Structure 1
Amino acid sequence: MVHVHRTITVRTPAQTVVGYLRDFAHAESWDPGTVSCTRTDTGPIVVGSRWHNVSEFRGKKTELTYRLDRLEPDRIVFVGSNKTATSTDDLTISEADGTTTVSYHATIEFHGLAKLADPFLKRQFEKMGDELVPAMKATLEALPAS
C-alpha cells in the first residue's frame, strides 16, 4: 500500500473549496496525473455519485471508476478502483484566520501481482504529490468566492 500526504493552504473560503472539490471532474484541473474525469451519473452530487477517471502514470494510461464515498462540510472522500488497484483520495478542509487548509491523503492499494510493485512505486507517487500541491493551490486560489 502506498500513502501520500500533502497540505495546501489557500485564501479561498472553505465553503467555496468544498463546493469545488466535491465534483471529482475538477481533478482535471488540480491533479497533474488526471488526463480526463467525467461524471457517469446525473443529478446532484451526493454520496454514491460516480466518475470515470483516466490517469497517466509512468507513461501509461489507466482507468478507474471513482465513487464519492463521504461528503461532509469538512471532509470529502473519493474511492476509485479497477482490477489492479483501489485508490482513495481523502480531503479534509479546515478554515482559520482567513485561510483554508486542505489536507490531502492519497492511499493506493494494489491487488494481485501488482502488490509486488508497492516498494518501487512509492517514490513516483510522492513525486506526483509534489506536483499536485502547486496545481491545487493555483486552482483553488483562482476560484471566485461563493
Structure 2
Amino acid sequence: MIGPAEPWVVRETGLPDGATATRQSESVFALANGHIGLRGNLEEPDPDGMPGTYLNSLFEERDLTYPEAGYAFPQRTQTVVNAPNGKPVALFVGAEPFDLRTGTLRRHERVLDLRAGTLTREVEWTSPSGVDVWLRTVRLVSFQ
C-alpha cells in the first residue's frame, strides 16, 4: 500500500497483493538515468513480478504496414527491448531460500527517495524454521 504524501518520497508498506498490483508497484519504484532503467521489482524471484532492465539505444526495429498509405505515416517503428536482468540476488538463511511467500512476513517497506535517487527496502521476516531475518537493501542508478 502506497503511504501518505511526503516531500520527495514515495513509501510503500506491506507487499502488493496479486500480479497487477505487484507490476504497478514495480513501475512506481523504477529507477532510471537516461542511459539505464531498472523496474522496481524485488531482489529475490517473485512469480507475480515482471523484472525489467532497459538500456538506451537497445531496441528492436520493425516495418509498419497500413491498409492505406497516408502522408507522414512512419514506415518503421522501434520497440524498447528488455535487457538481461542483473538485479536478482539469491539469499539463503542456512539452507532455506529467502522467500517472502513462505515463513512469516512481519514488516516490508520500500522508500523511493526522489531527491537522492535511491530505492531502499527493509524487511523483517521469520523463516519457516523460525530464524528471524532483517534485510535492508539500497538500489541506485548513478547520475554521473
Smaller-chain TM-score bracket? under 0.3
Q: Give me the TM-score of the superposition, normalised by structure 2.
A: 0.27
Higher helix share: 1
Larger radius of gyration: 2
Higher strand share: 1
Q: Give me the TM-score of the superposition, normalised by structure 1.
A: 0.27
Larger RCO, structure (CA 8 Å, separation 6 or more): 1
